[in-house]
Structures are given as C-alpha cells and as structure tokens.
Amino acid sequence: MIKISLIISTYNWPEALRLCLESVKRQTLVPDEIIIPDDGSTAETANVIDSLRTEIKCPIKHVWHEDNGFRKTVIHNKAIKEECTGDYLIFTDGDIIFDRHFVSDHAKMAEKGYFALGSRVLLTPELTNTLIENNSISVSPFSKGVLHAINAFYMPWLGRWTWKYRIKDKLYGRGANMAMFVSDFNLINGFNEDMVGWGMEDTDMINRLNNNGIKRKFAKFRAIEYHLYHPERKHNLDNNILLKKLIEDKCKFAPNGLIKN
C-alpha cells in the first residue's frame, strides 16, 4: 500500500475548511496524513484545525506563512518539502466537501507513469450558505443547488473505462482535484514560485508533467468533490504570459521551485 498525503490548501475561510475536514472523517480510506498549506490565514483557521485533530484518524500538519498576497506556489512547496512523508499526493482545496470514497478512488487510480485529474461539482451560493450555517456536509446529486450534477454520480464501474480517456487539450485539469506520486512532483521541481497571484500555477505543473512523459488519467464518476461557492479571484494576467513562454520552451523543471536555481 502506498502512503497517501492529502494536501488541502486554505486561506481565511475557516467555516469552509471545517466542512472539508468533516468530510475527511467519513472517508472509506483515511489518508495517512493531511497537510494544510496556509497562505496566511488568521488564528481562526488554526483554531478550527486544532478542534478537529482528535476526531480525524491521521496526523494533521498545518504549515503557515505570513499573508503577503496570493502565494500558493510558495506555501505548497514549503509544506510538502518540510512535512510530507507520503508516497502519493492528492491536491485539493479547503472549500471542498469530499464524497466518502474520494481518497480511496485516488488511491486505486495511482499508477507509476501517470498523474490523475478529477472533476468538481459546483454549488450555488444558497446551498453553500445553508451547509455552512448548519455545519452540514449532507449533499448529493439530488440536492437543490447542485450544478453540473452529472459529475456527482458515483459510477466507478463506468469510470474505469475513462481512466486513460484522451482529450485534445493537453493542459486540461484543475489543481483542486489532482494527484501524483511524490517522485513525479520532485521530478518537475514542484510548484513554480515565479507564478505569483492566482491563476495558471496548476496548468504550469500539468505542462511540466506532460513534458516529462507523465501521462494523465481522468477520474470520471469517481473521486467526487463538491465545491462551495465563492466569487472568483482576480486573475494575474502575467501568469498567462509566463505560462505561454514555458510551454514554448517545453519546460520540464520549474526554474524556481523546490530547488532554487
């Protein structure tokens, strides 16, 4: 059995993080460790994490740095480099409610030479508010306020046929439902810390995985997650320009990642 590290990024939304961690408690396969890269949240987030430590049957490692703008790439590299003891990384966000098979599904898909990408199910503001107000993780494809409900149906027997499904967009994927071996994360030198501000940091990582010959699997009808509503963050357009150059250069190794040049 491989050792699973569940990576849950967070920033100043403790109410959502509480629901996310509550959904970890019901997993059919509990991860071996939870690592929470925190991009500068206030003490309220730490309080939520501490309140749930004894209720979750694996270690929770909370790695924080000072709030100095959106620096997801920096805090992820720091957290994984300093705290990760697993073989396989499952990346997600602290505004997600997991289906109870989420971790197990990713573990079953783990295969050398591949990384995995899953979908997400969007929730309306109304349903999001209701879940938070009631401290509830009770949501299903049939809940009022579930968008793109097709992504919420759990059909693993059908999902097996789509594991290695190919689509034209080689850079398709979301970092909030992505998994890979630690060895491959190290191979591409982790996140590129030149990506500052929101946007394209996950796509950049997918580009480097592709360029190193690591192929994609798609977690269709499995590894289901429900995304709590929030307004979209402001996109840093400089990251688009940087990504375009990295694609043209067929970049394999982050120039400013786990290892600094």
Query: Nearest CA to 9 among 100, 75, 60?
Result: 75
The tens digit of pLDDT for each residue in 123-182 reads 999 999 999 999 999 999 999 999 988 889 998 877 665 555 555 566 666 668 999 999
Q: What is the pLDDT of residues 80-116, one digit of tens each?
A: 999 999 999 999 999 999 999 999 999 999 999 999 9
Kindly state whether residue 201 falls inside one of the protein's structural domains.
yes
Looking at residue 175, its pLDDT comes to 65
Q: What is the CATH number of the domain that holds 221?
A: 3.90.550.10
Residues 76 and 193: their CA atoms lie apart, in Å, by 10
What was the pLDDT predicted at 111? Answer: 94
Model confidence at 231: pLDDT above 90: no
Alpha helices in the chain (DSSP H): 14-25, 43-52, 72-83, 102-109, 125-133, 156-159, 182-187, 201-211, 237-248
Calculate the average pLDDT of the chain: 92
Residue 86 lies in a domain: yes
Could you give the residue ranges of the DSSP H alpha helices within 69-190? 72-83, 102-109, 125-133, 156-159, 182-187
Q: Is residue 213 part of a domain?
A: yes
What is the spatial distance between Cα 113 and Cα 138, in angstroms, rounded to a whole number? 36
Residue 233 within a domain: yes
- Cα separation, 257 vs 70, in Å, equals 16
pTM, full prediction: 0.93
Does residue 253 lie within any of the structural domains? no
Structural domain boundaries enclosing 239: 4-248
Query: Based on the structure, what is the number of domains in the chain?
Result: 1
Interval 14-42 mean pLDDT: 97
In a domain, 55, yes or no: yes
State CA 74 to chain mean position distance.
Answer: 15
Instruction: Tell me if 259 is assigned to some domain.
Output: no
Angle at 105 between CA 183 and CA 158, to 5 degrees: 125
The answer to whether position 260 is within a domain reads no
Q: Which of 89, 86, 69, 95 is nearest to 16 (CA)?
A: 95
